[in-house]
Amino acid sequence: ALFQTLTQFHQAGWPLVMVHGGGVVVEQQLAANGFTSEKCGGLRVTPEAQIPVVAGALAGTANTALVAAAARAGLTPVGLSLADGGIVRAQVLDPALGRVGQASPGDPRLLTQLLQLGMLPVVSSIAVDEAGRLLNVNADQAATALCQLLAAELVLLSDVDGVLDGQGQLLPTLDRSECAKQVAIGVIEGGMKVKVEAALAAAQSINNCVRIASWRHPEQLTALLEGGSVGTVIQP
């Protein structure tokens, strides 16, 4: 259903890049290989011994499944990782987290060429550092690096409607100070804290709003085509 909606964006002439994670797939495949996994501050601790499984799950299973779904919807997807064409520069974020990467914008040419061809780049959040080591990048942080690289608008999709308050109600708009307040009181935590911080970084560098919305209701995203709004708007 999401790709059906993206087809409408494509037909309206919006060039699209999809950046994806797949934490659920990572967890399934780590468990199937006898590994346990934990998160620290919303990021998966990734010991060196686990990176082949994590890379297989994200750049293999998740990426090819999304490419297949996009093709079925009539788009022309190209499956990539952050390691292809120098899209990003990456380094270890914090040695205590193992092979977790921090990505910064690299070379835009591969993506711009694919967009000119009318294709849909589908980019997994696996990167390679200068020493040639595979790194596991949180997908929201990966999307932020690509947003900065292309000076593009950014919509971060999650399994919730957007950022929710303490009563589970959607917060329609948030600025930096309100985000900090909600994080401090523990209302925004875990994966949503990572997402909100990624959104704030992106919003600041493109000097434009970033949206956090749900992939569960893709039809609501078409409001963006008419200049409308969806989910939570994160202000620069």
Ligand X SMILES: Nc1ncnc2c1ncn2[C@@H]1O[C@H](COP(=O)(O)OP(=O)(O)O)[C@@H](O)[C@H]1O
Ligand Y SMILES: CC(=O)N[C@@H](CCC(=O)OP(=O)(O)O)C(=O)O
Residue 227: phi and psi, rounded to 5, are: 80, 10
Residues in the chain: 236
- Residue 56 interacts with ligand Y (CB under 6 A)? no
Closest CA to 141 of 90, 214, 78: 90
Number of residues that bind ligand X (CB under 6 A): 16
**Closest residue to ligand X using C-beta atoms:** 191
Pairwise CA distance, residues 132 & 32, whole Å: 26
Selection from ligand X, ligand Y, none that 52 binds (CB < 5 to 8 A by kind) is none
**Are 103 and 90 contacting, i.e. CB atoms less than 8 angstroms apart?**
yes
Nearer to ligand X by C-beta: 159 or 226? Answer: 159
Closest CA to 75 of 17, 16, 120: 120
What phi, psi does 134 have (nearest 5°)?
A: -70, 140
Q: Residue type for 61, please?
A: T
CB of 213: closest distance to ligand X in angstroms? 10
Nearer to ligand X, 71 or 209 (CB): 209
We find the least distance from the C-beta atom of residue 199 to ligand X, in angstroms, to be 11
Which of ligand X, ligand Y, none has residue 164 at its interface (CB below 5 to 8 Å by kind)?
A: ligand X
Tell me: does residue 23 bind ligand Y (CB under 6 A). yes
Cβ proximity to ligand X, 26 vs 128, nearer residue: 26
Piece of 92-100, 105-113, 123-131, 155-163 that binds ligand X (CB under 6 A): 155-163
Q: Which does 22 bind (CB under 5 to 8 A by kind): ligand X, ligand Y, none?
A: ligand Y
Return the range that interacts with ligand X (CB under 6 A); candidates 1-9, 79-87, 94-102, 157-165.
157-165
Print the SS3 string covering 6-66. HHHHHHCCCCCCEEECCHHHHHHHHHHCCCCCCEECCEECECHHHHHHHHHHHHHHHHHHH
Buried b vs exposed e over 154-175: b needs ≥16 C-beta within 10 Å? bbbbbebbbbbeeeeeebeebe
x-or-dash string of contact with ligand X, 161-190, rule CB under 6 A: --xx----------------------xxxx
Residue 125 contacts ligand Y per CB under 6 A? yes
Applying CB under 6 A, which residues contact ligand X? 21, 23, 139-140, 158-160, 163-164, 187-192, 195
